[in-house]
């Protein structure tokens, strides 16, 4: 897990990690903007197949919002579009406005984002000076707390569902307050089951790679998937690898439940789904040789 520094893109981290781990198959669990820092979990080799099955997609952030200035990217990296010269709102007004964003809200993805329109990333269209209509999506803000207000800056802690744009939250807050705003700083402190205390800087990871101690940082997939676990016998594993179904054993779960199936050594061999009649069908199968790596 990487503590991404300012100036690195998420893709930069993946490229560096290919060298650290001497592996081509590396993916990350949720993009961080170039100017954001913090938790960026990586999946190595066959574990990349499991990214979509991690159950906990919640995120936590510490951020700073600057009132009175709007930018085209909605953060400090962008070009200034408007500046508000009037008096800034008081703390009570800020807290009241923040309370309106807690719960389910609609967000329109920013033009400077990796969301695609017609197969083209929005940020590419934005750099060509184009703006296209985007569909709003529903996200949930579990917690939005004002920890410090020193105008024009306010510091927030945010707990939210995956896919939430804190940049959009900052801009929408500025609009609600009538003074405009942008996201000045952002640090991700949690991504699903991964927390900042587990992360290391690129410099630390590179040093550990050179010392041959890097592999100790790898976490077993079974412990982070957040799914019920089911131990399978070798013949059951072979049946799943052939695409077949098997009978369910272990504690009862409702039909539709996704389960992490593992071998005798604890290695994840498949993500399966429980069907009516206590049958299990494979959703994603890993070869046992892959699971060992």
Q: What is the pLDDT of residue 293?
A: 35
Using alpha carbons, list the distances in angstroms from residue 181 to 6, 8, 37: 21, 24, 20
- Average pLDDT (207-232) is 93
Q: Do domains 2-56+193-219 and 59-189 have the same CATH topology?
A: yes
Per-residue confidence (pLDDT) for residue 287, from 0 to 100: 64
Beta strand 80-83 with 103-107 is: unpaired
Contact 43, 28 (CB under 8 A): yes
Active-site residue (options: 3, 12, 15, 33): 33
pLDDT tens, 142-172?
A: 999 999 999 999 999 999 999 899 999 999 9
What global pTM score does this model have? 0.89
Separation of alpha carbons 53 and 283, rounded Å: 10
24-33, 40-49, 282-291: the lowest-pLDDT one: 282-291
Q: Where are the domains of the chain?
A: 2-56+193-219, 59-189, 222-291
Task: In whole angstroms, give the CA distance from residue 109 to residue 262.
Answer: 38
pLDDT at residue 292, rounded to an integer: 35
Known catalytic residue at 85: no
Higher pLDDT, 94 or 250: 94
Integer CA distances (angstroms), 12 to 2, 162, 201, 257, in order: 11, 21, 13, 36
Fold classification of 2-56+193-219 is Pseudouridine synthase (3.30.2350)
pLDDT score recorded for residue 291: 40
Mean pLDDT of 286-290: 59
Terminal-to-terminal C-alpha distance of the chain: 17
CA distance 192 to 132: 31
**Matching CATH number, 59-189, of 3.30.2350.10, 3.40.718.10, 3.40.30.10, 3.40.50.880:** 3.30.2350.10
> Band of the pLDDT at 3, cuts 50, 70, 90?
very high
pLDDT mean across residues, the chain: 92
Least confident of 121-125, 141-145, 199-203, 282-286: 121-125
**Residue 127: Cβ-neighbour burial (10 angstroms; 0-12, 13-18, 19+):** exposed
pLDDT at 87: 96
Q: Is 89 helix (H, G, I), strand (E, B) or coil?
A: coil
pLDDT at 109 over 90: no
Phi and psi angles of residue 245, each rounded to the nearest 5 degrees, phi first: -100, 160
Beta bridge partners of 160: 59, 141
The pLDDT of residue 204 is above 80: yes
- Distance, CA of 175 to CA of 177 (rounded, Å): 5
pLDDT at 288: 56
Per CATH, the homologous superfamily of domain 222-291 is PUA domain (2.30.130.10)
Give dist(CA 108, CA 228) in Å, integer: 34
157-166 CB burial, b ≥16 within 10 A, e <16:
ebbbeeebbb
Q: What is the mean pLDDT of residues 79-91?
A: 96
């Amino acid at each position: 897990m990487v503590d991404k520094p300012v100036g690195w893109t998420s893709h930069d981290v993946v490229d560096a990690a290919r060298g650290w781990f001497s592996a081509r198959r590396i993916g990350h669990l949720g993009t961080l903007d170039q100017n954001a820092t913090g938790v960026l979990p990586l999946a190595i080799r066959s574990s990349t197949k499991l990214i979509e099955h991690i159950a906990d997609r919640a995120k936590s952030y510490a951020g700073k919002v600057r009132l009175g200035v709007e930018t085209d990217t909605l953060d400090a990296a962008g070009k200034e579009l408007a500046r508000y010269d009037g008096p800034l709102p008081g703390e009570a007004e800020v807290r009241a406005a923040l309370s309106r964003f807690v719960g389910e809200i609609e967000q329109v993805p920013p033009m400077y984002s990796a969301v695609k329109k017609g197969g083209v990333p929005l940020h590419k269209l934005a750099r060509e000076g184009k703006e296209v209509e985007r569909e709003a999506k529903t996200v949930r803000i579990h917690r939005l707390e004002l920890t410090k207000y020193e105008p024009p800056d306010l510091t927030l802690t945010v707990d939210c569902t995956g896919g939430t744009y804190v940049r959009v939250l900052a801009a929408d807050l500025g609009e609600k307050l009538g003074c405009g705003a942008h996201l000045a700083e952002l640090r991700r402190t949690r991504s699903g089951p991964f927390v900042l205390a587990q992360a290391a800087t690129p410099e630390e990871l590179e040093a550990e790679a050179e010392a041959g101690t890097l592999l100790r940082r790898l976490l077993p997939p079974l412990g982070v998937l957040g799914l019920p676990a089911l131990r399978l016998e070798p013949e059951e594993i072979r049946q799943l690898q052939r695409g077949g179904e098997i009978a369910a054993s272990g504690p009862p779960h409702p039909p539709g439940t996704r389960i992490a199936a593992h071998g005798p050594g604890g290695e994840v061999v498949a993500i399966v789904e429980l069907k009516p009649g206590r049958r299990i069908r494979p959703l994603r199968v890993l070869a046992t040789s892959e699971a060992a790596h």
